[in-house]
Amino acid sequence: MIVSCGSAIMDMLPEPVPGGCNMNVAITAARLGAPTAFLGRVSTDHYGDLLVKHLADSGVDLSLVERGPERTARAIVSTQPSPTFEFDADGAADSALESNDLSPIGPGPHIVHGGTNVDYRGRTAHTIVSLIETSPGLVSCDPNIRPALIDDRSEWESWHDRWVAATSLYRCSDEDLDWIWPGRAPSSVAAELLDRGPDVVIVTAGSSGCQVFGDGWSVSAAARAVSVKDTVGAGDGFIGSLLTDLHAVDARDPAALARVSEDDWRRIAQRACEVAAVVCTRIGADPPWASELPEPTGR
C-alpha cells in the first residue's frame, strides 16, 4: 500500500475545509485508485470527525488512524497572491502520534510518504522517523516548508538530515529549495542529495512544471496552463499522483525504483503535473478522481 504519514488539519479559507499535506497526499492516491492508508493522529473533536469522514469518503484505509482528545490543528490560509499559512497548532493531535505499527494493513513492502513539518514536531517526529529508518519499502519525502512552524532551524535540520538519509524519493518545490539551499540551482541540490541517500530527486516549479533527477540522467515535464482558483494542495496532488503511478509499476522498494526507466519517469511526471493543474482549478485541496482524468498510458 501507499502509507502517507503525519498531518491532518483544517484549512480555514476562511470556511473550514479538510487539509494537511500528508492527508492530501493520501486523498489523492486513493482517489486515483491506489490502495492507500493514512498514518496519523486525529482529534476526537468535531473537526477530527470531519477529517476522518473526508478520508473514508475518498477511499483511504483508516486502519492506522489514531484518535485522541487533543484538538485539531488549524491553518489560516490566505490564497492571494500566493498561499500563505498561519498555524494554530500547539498541542494539537497531529503532533502526538504514538504508534507506527503497519501490521494492520498487512505485509509490505509499503511505500511510506512524509517529511513535512509536522513530521519534525512533538511525539510524531520520533514515531515517524523510527518507521522510515527501518522500512524495507520505498520512502518518499516532501519537506513542504512552512516557516511559521519552524522555531529552531538547527533542530529542523537534524530531523531533515535523518529523513534525507532514509529517503529514496525526494520531492521539493522551488520555494522549498530556496529556503533550504538559498541561491543553489536545482541541478546542484539534486547532485548533493543523490550523494546523501535519495535515488531520485524531483523539483517542482509551479507553472514551469518539474525536473526529475537520477544518477546520470534527468527528465522534465511541463505544467498545463489553467485558470487558477488557488494553489493550495497542488504539490500534494503532484506527489500523490507520482506515488500512485510508482505503485502501479511495482516500484515499491528502492531496488524497484532504480529500475523505473527515463521514459516512464517522463510519463509519470507529466501525469503528476496534470493532477496538480486540476487541483489549481478548485478551491482548497480537492484532488481529482481517476474518472476525471484521461486514462494513463504506458503502465
For residues 111 and 244, give the distance between their C-alpha atoms in angstroms, rounded to a whole number.
10
> Residue 167 — pLDDT band, cuts 50, 70, 90?
very high
**Would residue 36 count as lying in a domain?**
yes
**Would residue 8 count as lying in a domain?**
yes
Give the tens place of pLDDT for each residue, 12-27.
Answer: 877 888 988 999 999 9
Q: What is the mean pLDDT of the chain?
A: 93
Range from 38-47, 79-88, 119-128, 187-196 carrying the lowest mean pLDDT: 79-88
**Would residue 281 count as lying in a domain?**
yes
> Residue 299 — pLDDT band, cuts 50, 70, 90?
low
For residues 158 and 200, give the distance between their C-alpha atoms in angstroms, rounded to a whole number.
21
- How many domains would you assign to the chain? 1
pTM value is 0.94
**Would residue 293 count as lying in a domain?**
no
In order of 34, 166, 290, 292, 293, the CA distances from 275 in angstroms are 14, 27, 10, 10, 8
In order of 55, 278, 280, 285, the CA distances from 226 in angstroms are 27, 8, 8, 16
**Would residue 295 count as lying in a domain?**
no
- Residue 212 in contact with residue 202, Cβ under 8 Å? yes
DSSP character for 61? B
pLDDT of residue 296: 63
pLDDT of residue 88: 83
Average pLDDT over residues 116-122: 81
CATH number for the domain that contains residue 194: 3.40.1190.20
**Would residue 299 count as lying in a domain?**
no
Host domain of residue 281: 2-288
Higher pLDDT, 224 or 35: 35
Give the tens place of pLDDT for each residue, 60-107.
Answer: 999 999 999 999 999 887 766 666 778 888 899 999 999 999 999 999
**Would residue 142 count as lying in a domain?**
yes
253: pLDDT strictly greater than 90:
yes
**Would residue 213 count as lying in a domain?**
yes
